[in-house]
């Protein structure tokens, strides 16, 4: 039986066209951009072309792009680097309750280092309320962090409004755009984003490469100290093959995004309609309309996410119940809890995420499996109300 993969928010395969673009940079174009000879020049050219391609996608200038070893490092550099650089101006930062685990843990770290952190709640759909955000701003606030979209429930935040508020109050606005990149048009000028993290893998490029966008006025302190690469902001030899891969991935995405998004939206809408119609006591998690094209997220009364996962695994269908970054703990997803769900409701959730290589057959297989898995688990469930069976 063919393996079905519906967990694109956790990891994406590298597009074979990206692999082709990368290969020469492991072998004949192996140079170091810091070298002043011809081999180094070839590397420098590739590095700068990649920087330009990524800057162009988000409407930034080339010198506002810093290559990192992935989104986690970009987030560390953006938030910790900005906080350290600006601590004389204030020690207060605001994050949303639905930030990625890396941002939640950075916030805890900064609290231990003497910063104050406010956490803005979200509504039942996981959306940040601008008025609540505004009420948390003090004269000591230096940074606001709200992820562009949820990698779990797919809700897209009102980024433009948050950016406008931050700009008006002269506060830096950081957004982790990893879940949204390649699915929405990002424009740091239009959206007043000052700092933004991206990852190569979420464009179908290699893992372990990322970018911090940093608007000129919003400087950060480096957190990786060494030979001074990336204008002193990120020392260490650049992963040139990876960076070239990220560029190729961005260029392919820009050509194909519109048609890809349409295709994924059709899958998403079909899955949502079918599950809600065919499975009694099922609900959609996340926003009904302001959601990523790739994301369908459900909860079912009376069953546990863990057992759903195992039954899907038996059928060779890869799905998720929440953020992979926290799935090794038995804690329910902080995002689902922030939307007001009880622990048992959060545990009874299923995340189906599609992507570039998803086929009709994959979606058919999942749609056939969901009603069956849910009813089999409910048969065994001591908590599912028998009257509903």
Active site amino acids: 325
Question: Can you tell me which of 76, 96, 102, 339 binds ligand PMP, judged by CB under 6 A?
Answer: 102
Question: Can you tell me which of 53, 60, 65, 71 binds ligand PMP, judged by CB under 6 A?
Answer: 71
148 contacts 156 by C-beta, under 8 angstroms: yes
Q: Compare residues 100 and 299 and give the one whose CB is closer to ligand PMP.
A: 100
**Burial letters 1-25, b for 16+ CB under 10 A, else e:** eeebbbbbbbebebbeebeebbeeb
Q: Does the footprint of ligand PMP cover residue 176 (CB under 6 A)? A: yes
**Residues in region 132-151 near ligand PMP by CB under 6 A:** 147, 151
Report the C-alpha gap between 307 and 347 in whole angstroms. Answer: 10
Nearest to 9 by CA among 123, 108, 147: 147
Q: Compare residues 31 and 126 and give the one whose CB is closer to ligand PMP.
A: 126
How far apart are CB 271 and ligand PMP at their closest, in Å?
A: 20
Strands 116-120, 141-145: pairing is: unpaired
With CB under 6 A as the rule, give the number of residues binding ligand PMP: 12
Q: Does the footprint of ligand PMP cover residue 182 (CB under 6 A)? A: no
Helix (H, G, I), strand (E, B) or coil at 28: coil
Q: Does the footprint of ligand PMP cover residue 107 (CB under 6 A)? A: no
Q: Two tokens at 10?
A: 């956790």
Question: Can you tell me which of 25, 47, 50, 72 binds ligand PMP, judged by CB under 6 A?
Answer: 72
Q: Compare residues 70 and 154 and give the one whose CB is closer to ligand PMP.
A: 70
Question: Can you tell me which of 31, 33, 70, 322 binds ligand PMP, judged by CB under 6 A?
Answer: 70
Residue showing tokens 């759903």 = 308
Which residues are CB-contacts of 1 (< 8 A; sequence separation ≥ 6)?
315, 316
294 contacts 355 by C-beta, under 8 angstroms: yes
Report the C-alpha gap between 72 and 211 in whole angstroms. Answer: 10
Strands 195-199, 210-214: pairing is: antiparallel
Q: Does the footprint of ligand PMP cover residue 42 (CB under 6 A)? A: no
Stretch that binds ligand PMP, among 110-118, 174-182, 286-294, 308-316 (CB under 6 A): 174-182
Q: Compare residues 53 and 103 and give the one whose CB is closer to ligand PMP.
A: 103
Q: Does the footprint of ligand PMP cover residue 100 (CB under 6 A)? A: yes
Torsion, CA 316, CA 324, CA 98, CA 198, rounded to 10: -100
Q: Compare residues 212 and 350 and give the one whose CB is closer to ligand PMP.
A: 212
**Interface residue list for ligand PMP (CB under 6 A):** 70-72, 100, 102, 147, 151, 176, 178-179, 199, 210
């Amino acid at each position: 039986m063919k393996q079905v993969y519906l967990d694109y928010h956790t990891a994406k395969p590298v597009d074979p066209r990206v692999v082709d673009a990368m290969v020469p940079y492991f072998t004949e174009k192996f140079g170091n951009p810091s070298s002043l000879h011809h081999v180094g020049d070839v590397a420098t050219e590739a590095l700068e072309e990649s920087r330009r391609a990524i800057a162009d996608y988000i409407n930034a200038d080339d010198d506002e792009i810093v290559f990192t070893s992935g989104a986690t490092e970009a987030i560390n550099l953006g938030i910790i680097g900005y906080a350290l650089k600006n601590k004389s101006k204030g020690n207060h930062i605001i994050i949303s309750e639905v930030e990625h685990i890396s941002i939640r843990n950075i916030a805890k770290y900064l609290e231990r280092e003497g910063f104050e952190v406010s956490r803005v709640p979200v509504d039942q759909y996981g959306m940040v309320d601008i008025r609540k955000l505004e009420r948390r701003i003090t004269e000591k606030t230096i940074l606001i962090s709200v992820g562009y979209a949820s990698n779990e429930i797919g809700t897209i935040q009102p980024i433009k409004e948050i950016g406008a508020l931050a700009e008006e109050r002269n506060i830096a606005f950081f957004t982790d755009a990893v879940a949204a990149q390649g699915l929405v048009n990002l424009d740091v000028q239009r959206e007043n984003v000052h700092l933004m993290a991206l990852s190569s893998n979420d464009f179908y490029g290699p893992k372990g490469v990322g970018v911090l966008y940093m608007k000129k006025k919003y400087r950060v302190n480096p957190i990786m100290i060494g030979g001074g690469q990336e204008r002193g902001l990120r020392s260490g030899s650049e992963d040139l093959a990876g960076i070239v891969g990220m560029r190729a991935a961005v260029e392919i995405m820009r050509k194909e995004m519109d048609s890809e998004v349409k295709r994924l939206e059709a899958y998403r809408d079909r899955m949502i309609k079918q599950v809600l119609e065919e499975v009694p006591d099922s609900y959609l998690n996340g926003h009904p309309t302001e959601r990523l094209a790739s994301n369908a997220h459900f909860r079912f009364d009376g069953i546990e996410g863990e057992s759903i996962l195992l039954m899907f695994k038996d059928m060779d269908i890869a799905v998720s119940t929440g953020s992979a970054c926290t799935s090794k703990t038995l804690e329910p997803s902080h995002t689902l809890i922030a939307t007001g769900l009880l622990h048992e409701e959060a545990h009874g959730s299923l995340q189906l995420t599609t992507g570039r290589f998803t086929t009709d057959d994959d979606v058919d297989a999942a749609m056939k499996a969901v009603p069956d898995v849910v009813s089999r688990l409910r048969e065994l469930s001591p908590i599912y109300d028998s009257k509903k069976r």
